[in-house]
Amino acid sequence: MDRRRCIILVGMPGAGKSTVGVLLAKQLARPFVDIDLLIQARDGRRLQAILDADGPEAFTRCEEQTVLDLPLTNQVVATGGSVVYSEKAMTRLAAAGPVVYLRIDLASLQRRLTDLKTRGIVMGRNTSLAELYAERRVLYERWATATVDCAGLNHQETVDAVVRALQHPG
């Protein structure tokens, strides 16, 4: 793996991007960046508070700008689940290194996401998790350099699968 390139993790909220990202960065001796944490630090509010007060459009603009402003060298980057709505942000991330889609099946996702209304997820008021999943899955697959099926894997097994996918793309 090219040490100058980033490793970009994308996927649904609850897929494990942040946890896997920390472990992957530690294993590969790279810095770790969590876009959601950068947004919260920049704005001084939790993601859900930003969504509630400013709305999804403002949130996705903030997310896009956070990605565009981020120096991208050698990090493991855990993106927010909605970053795939921004062509500009995804083009920049894809240019910085491989994009790894942490794929999880809908049933596993439903078990993991018990805090759907407070987690800070960009979704329409009347949109179901199944609809959001179907909408985003297409976008994640579009941008993915590699896909790791993480349902049934613990965090370390997912990290190991990511490393294998990066060593043997395709």
Every domain of the chain and the residues it spans: 7-167
Can you give the pLDDT at residue 129? 87
Residue 21 has pLDDT above 90, yes or no: yes
Task: Count CB-CB contacts under 10 A for residue 26.
Answer: 12
In terms of DSSP bridges, do strands 99-103 and 76-78 run parallel, antiparallel, or are they unpaired? unpaired
What are the E-state strand segments in the chain?
A: 7-10, 32-34, 76-78, 99-103, 146-149
Can you give the pLDDT at residue 147? 96
Q: Residue 3: which pLDDT band, with cuts at 50, 70 and 90? A: low
The CATH architecture of the domain made up of 7-167 is: 3-Layer(aba) Sandwich (3.40)
Condensed to tens digits (0 to 9), the pLDDT of residues 47-85 reads: 999 989 998 899 999 999 999 999 999 999 999 989 999
Condensed to tens digits (0 to 9), the pLDDT of residues 134-147 reads: 999 999 999 999 99
